[in-house]
Amino acid sequence: MPNQTSKAQPGGGGLLGAYAADLAGLAAHDRLRRLAPRTGLDFTSNDYLGLAESPEYAQAAAAALARGVPLGAGGSRLLRGNHPEHEALEKEAAAFFGAESALFFGAGFSANAALLATLPQRGDLIVHDALVHASAHDGMRLSRATSVAAAHNDVDAFEAAIHAFRRAGGTGRPFLIVESLYSMDGDFAPLADLAALAERYEAFLFIDEAHATGVFGPGGRGLAAALEGRDNVVTLHTCGKALGLSGALTLAPRVLREFLVNRCRPFIFATAPSPFLAACVRAALPIIDGAEDRRAALAARVALAGRALRRHGLAAPLSQIAPIVVGSDARALALAAAMQARGYDTRAIRPPTVAEGTARLRVTLTLDVSEAEIAAMIDDLATEIARLAS
Ligand SMILES: Cc1ncc(COP(=O)(O)O)c(C=O)c1O
């Protein structure tokens, strides 16, 4: 038997040495990630409304199987893979969110990256919020358009970037890229001001609603609900967070959907998402629509957490995402480990996911834990933060 371990020694050269050295470098900087089992009370998932394991979903899944919806699509949407469940979902989602059309992707990451790689053209300008998700960055890297970052939630910075582009002779179309609710900070984009800016400069506005869908807006339609259906607005509603499933719906004017169907390589050259998943997302939309009680219960948990955190001198969250910023990677890891030892599933979020020096616990509030459990967790968190400082 060849000795796999020795082949992968850092600095050992050979086929695997460079990878092993990279991993050793990550470990030396407290940046090595490992897959960990699910244990402890859930303060880390995005299953905000507690739907992922709900009986309603089990029933919807059983009904889809019973009516013969297949698990696999068998091919690309442009070939044999286009199933009536995909088409029905897209029709229903467009009506649900109030847009002209919808296109279903297998994951939010690929949808976001694909949109940004496909819609802005050579000569166009992408101005993105400094805190947009990795998937947007990957799309921008593939795009032929120029991209620049604007300071987080700074509408003037977005405008300044457009001015600088025009001054430099840029004539293409601006695309403004934001999240309605930021995934690692839990704060909100100034959507009305961004929409006004987009109108003023005839720009497109892309709004990633990943963490708002299901939780905010009328019937859980998101924070951009009032903007859906505009010619210059494209939204992304991921289905793996509050919807408790997976996949993503892109809502856009009909002509953009058709453009994506013809030009979007990750859509064209990929096996279509599971029709079974599409059927489950179809079932989820009316469940989300009617989930006012769940949204109210989540809002109550956010308010309770805010009061408890403030009592301990910590910042109250603006949403169901509570960033507990501790600074160094080592401190974030130590705090996460201490909380895990107390039975809480909290995870350290480190660069490059967040900026250098802002490592944190990203504590999420969901209906998977009770108010009493949240209160106890925050008392324990304050104790562990104090211990870390001593
Ligand atoms: C803001 C944002 N956009 C997109 C994604 C990707 O979505 P998905 O998990 O469906 O791939 C995520 C997931 O972490 C996200 O936080």
**Claim to verify: residue 255 and residue 364 sit in the same structural domain:** no
Does 30 fall in a domain? no
More confident residue, 329 or 5: 329
Q: What is the CATH number of the domain that holds 111?
A: 3.40.640.10
Does 26 fall in a domain? no
Q: What's the average model confidence in pLDDT over 79-93?
A: 98
The model's pTM: 0.95
Last residue of a domain, one of 289, 304, 323: 289
Domain count, the chain: 2
211 is catalytic: yes
The alpha helices in the chain, defined as continuous H runs, are 4-7, 17-28, 55-66, 84-97, 108-118, 134-142, 155-167, 191-200, 254-263, 265-268, 275-289, 292-311, 329-341, 371-389
Does 8 fall in a domain? no
Range of the domain at 102: 55-289
Q: What pLDDT score does 36 carry?
A: 86
Q: Which residues contact 51 (CB under 8 A, 6 or more apart)?
A: 57, 214, 242, 243, 244, 284, 287, 291, 294
**Claim to verify: residue 346 and residue 215 sit in the same structural domain:** no
Cα–Cα distance measured from residue 333 to residue 362, given in angstroms and rounded to the nearest whole number: 12
Q: What's the average model confidence in pLDDT over 247-262?
A: 98
Q: What pLDDT score does 37 carry?
A: 86
**Claim to verify: residue 264 and residue 362 sit in the same structural domain:** no
Q: What's the average model confidence in pLDDT over 52-58?
A: 97
**Three-class SS state of 135:** helix
Last residue of a domain, one of 222, 254, 289: 289
Q: Whose CA is nearest to atom 7 of ligand 1?
A: 108
pLDDT tens digits along 260-286: 999 999 999 999 999 999 999 999 999
pLDDT tens digits along 218-240: 999 999 999 999 999 999 999 99
7 pLDDT above the threshold of 60: no
**Claim to verify: residue 62 and residue 41 sit in the same structural domain:** no
Confidence of residue 8 (pLDDT cuts 50, 70, 90): low
**Claim to verify: residue 121 and residue 254 sit in the same structural domain:** yes
- Type of residue found at 35: L
132 CA: nearest ligand 1 atom: 1
DSSP-assigned letters across all residues of 71-122: S---SBTTTTT--HHHHHHHHHHHHHHT-SEEEEES-HHHHHHHHHHHSS-T
241 is catalytic: yes
208 is catalytic: yes
**Claim to verify: residue 39 and residue 151 sit in the same structural domain:** no
Q: What pLDDT score does 11 carry?
A: 61
387 pLDDT above the threshold of 50: yes
**Claim to verify: residue 246 and residue 148 sit in the same structural domain:** yes
pLDDT > 90 fraction of the chain, expressed in percent and rounded: 94
Expressed in angstroms and rounded, the spacing between residue 283 Cα and the centre of ligand 1 is 21
Does 16 fall in a domain? no
Token reading at 103: 């296109």
Q: Which residues line ligand 1 (CB under 6 A)?
A: 107-109, 112, 133, 135, 179, 183, 208, 210, 238, 240, 248
**Claim to verify: residue 178 and residue 319 sit in the same structural domain:** no
334 pLDDT above the threshold of 60: yes
**Claim to verify: residue 148 and residue 239 sit in the same structural domain:** yes
Asked if 285 and 97 touch (Cβ cutoff 8 Å), the reply is no
Expressed in angstroms and rounded, the spacing between residue 53 Cα and the centre of ligand 1 is 20
Confidence of residue 390 (pLDDT cuts 50, 70, 90): confident
Q: What pLDDT score does 9 carry?
A: 65
- Which of 133, 185, 319, 368 is an active site residue? 133
**Claim to verify: residue 302 and residue 269 sit in the same structural domain:** no
- Which of 85, 208, 209, 329 is an active site residue? 208
Confidence of residue 5 (pLDDT cuts 50, 70, 90): very low
4 pLDDT above the threshold of 50: no
Q: What pLDDT score does 130 carry?
A: 97
**Claim to verify: residue 203 and residue 90 sit in the same structural domain:** yes
Q: What's the average model confidence in pLDDT over 332-349?
A: 96
**Claim to verify: residue 187 and residue 65 sit in the same structural domain:** yes
Expressed in angstroms and rounded, the spacing between residue 206 Cα and the centre of ligand 1 is 14
pLDDT tens digits along 89-148: 999 999 999 999 999 999 999 999 999 999 999 999 999 999 999 999 999 999 999 999
91 is catalytic: no
pLDDT tens digits along 152-161: 999 999 999 9
Q: What pLDDT score does 30 carry?
A: 87
Q: How far is CA 83 from CA 80, 90, 233, 239, 381, in A?
A: 8, 11, 27, 19, 48
Average model confidence (pLDDT) for the chain? 96
- Which of 101, 183, 232, 246 is an active site residue? 183
Expressed in angstroms and rounded, the spacing between residue 225 Cα and the centre of ligand 1 is 19
Expressed in angstroms and rounded, the spacing between residue 320 Cα and the centre of ligand 1 is 16
Last residue of a domain, one of 269, 289, 309: 289
112 is catalytic: no
Q: What pLDDT score does 12 carry?
A: 64
133 is catalytic: yes
Confidence of residue 10 (pLDDT cuts 50, 70, 90): low
pLDDT tens digits along 157-182: 999 999 999 999 999 999 999 999 99
